[in-house]
Amino acid sequence: MPTNILMPALSPTMEKGNVARWLKKEGDKIKSGDVIAEIETDKATMEYEAIEDGTLAKIVVPEGTQDVAVNSVIAVLAGEGEDVKAAASAAKGAPPQKATEKKAETVAAAPPSAAPRPQKPSPPTVEAVPATRGNRIFSSPLARRLAKEANIDLNPVQGSGPHGRIIARDIERAKSGKGLRAPSIAPALGAAIAPAMSDAQVRALFEDGSYELIPHDNMRRTIAQRLTASVQTIPHFYETMDCDIGRLTAAREEINAAAPKGKDGKPAYKLSVNDFVIKALAVALQRVPDANVSWTESGLLKHKHSDIGVAVALPGGLITPIVRHAETKSLSAISNEMRDLAARARERKLKPHEYQGGTSSVSNLGMYGIKDFTAVINPPQSTILAIGAGEERAVVRNGQLAAATIMSVTLSCDHRAIDGALGAELIREFKTLIENPVMMVV
């Protein structure tokens, strides 16, 4: 039987993708592991590997096609010994396959290095809302007993039984934070949320010919969706401190001047202020472990390592590559790793595991001369640190005016997971480390 090759979901938030390029043509023999296409997501371009042998019978979606829904059929593979023409004809006559949402936990469970794979059609997915009648949530007696024993609220649990009924396996998954629906804010706010203006209403405010319409690409749509969800579902609060980075700038100059040179005459590393910031935040999270958490409906995930995301500007958007286990790495290692990640990010060559997840993030606009700002938290993280420009300011020392290089930093916190005093502990530890950089290496 022919195998449908589907548009893969390469991240939990991906709903659509672009078929950038077909590397095989109709009639080509394909072996398992062959790269058959390049799929463009909102963040990167990924190679699509075949997992079965056969012949590419029909390309349903031509290259260059944009906004193809996840799980839509993009090609048909005829198996060994199957009639290729018959498989192609069946593809032509088949009605368009309805796209279904790929479960986020399925993506998360895949190994980081896994490439997108062709998928066989799956049975219809269970309705993604709980089976309810009035205030009653339908669940099996065993599921209710297990939920009571584990002190789990059934409201956010997504049922996988018939008609969305919650069964025992759903409770087991809920214990580890999986299979839970995102909370809806609409009932809570009700009419407080004003409806957004339609495209026609916005355009009607401007004279015809006075503007150019630039269609959104996948990256801009994803950024809009994720940041809207963040500010609507995460209760943000902000804490700001001024940091004296005089010792940091002196140490940076001294370290860079002493960097060994390679055979090409280039220094082995060149530290930036941002490298110190990444290291300081990573170590601060280790010193205040209760702030190194992620919120889930079933409990807090308390992370053992500091995986720091760093916002990198791209044409038309941004991406946040992650320095894993940053607390264990030297400043020079962080610098070189960040340089590589940023370069590949701008080329859209990062793999999903290099920009998904993370326990906190850094957004640095200091190089643009921004004095201070607040950054939006990137779920599932609970904090993000906004870094302003280091500038000379007048300070008072021992009752005397003096000049100092001051950098303002603002910590955004998720109030569900972190309270004001805990956030203050974290930013205070950061300030201590950034003002005394020698403490980062002991």
For 238, counting Cβ atoms within 10 Å of its Cβ (0-12 exposed, 13-18 middle, 19+ buried), the class is: middle
Q: Beta-carbon neighbour count of residue 50 at 10 Å?
A: 23
415 is catalytic: yes
The strand ranges marked E within 23-66 are 29-30, 35-40, 45-49, 54-59
Is residue 184's pLDDT more than 70? Answer: no
pLDDT band for 13, please (50, 70, 90 cuts): low
Average pLDDT across the chain, whole number: 83
Please name each of the domains of the chain with its CATH number. 3-109 (2.40.50.100), 132-180 (4.10.320.10), 221-441 (3.30.559.10)
For 193-197, what is the mean pLDDT? Answer: 69
For 284-303, what is the mean pLDDT? Answer: 96
> In the prediction, which pLDDT does 253 show?
95
pLDDT by residue (tens digit) across 330-346? Answer: 999 999 999 999 999 99
For 413-423, what is the mean pLDDT? Answer: 97
pLDDT band for 136, please (50, 70, 90 cuts): low
Which of the residue ranges 22-26, 105-109, 342-346, 374-378 would you say has the lowest mean pLDDT?
A: 105-109
Instruction: Give me the phi and psi of 127, to 5 degrees please.
Output: -55, 135
pLDDT band for 201, please (50, 70, 90 cuts): confident
Which of the residue ranges 83-87, 132-136, 173-177, 421-425 would you say has the lowest mean pLDDT?
A: 132-136
CB 240 within 8 A of CB 428: no
CB 310 within 8 A of CB 324: no
Is residue 429's pLDDT more than 50? Answer: yes
Please calculate the CA angle 297-303-304 and round it to the nearest 5 degrees. 155
CA distances from 297 to 31, 257, 376 (A): 43, 50, 21
pTM here is: 0.64
User: Which contiguous run of DSSP H or E holds residue 234?
Assistant: none
> In the prediction, which pLDDT does 33 show?
81
| Best CA proximity match to 42, nearest among 337, 393, 398, 320 | 320
Name the percent of the chain lying above pLDDT 90.
45
Which carries the bigger pLDDT value, residue 86 or residue 188? 86
Helix (H, G, I), strand (E, B) or coil at 303: coil
CB 173 within 8 A of CB 297: no
For 254-270, what is the mean pLDDT? Answer: 91
> In the prediction, which pLDDT does 14 show?
73
> In the prediction, which pLDDT does 112 show?
37
| Best CA proximity match to 7, nearest among 77, 96, 67, 71 | 71
Is residue 120's pLDDT more than 50? Answer: no
Which of the residue ranges 16-20, 21-25, 165-169, 330-334 would you say has the lowest mean pLDDT?
A: 165-169
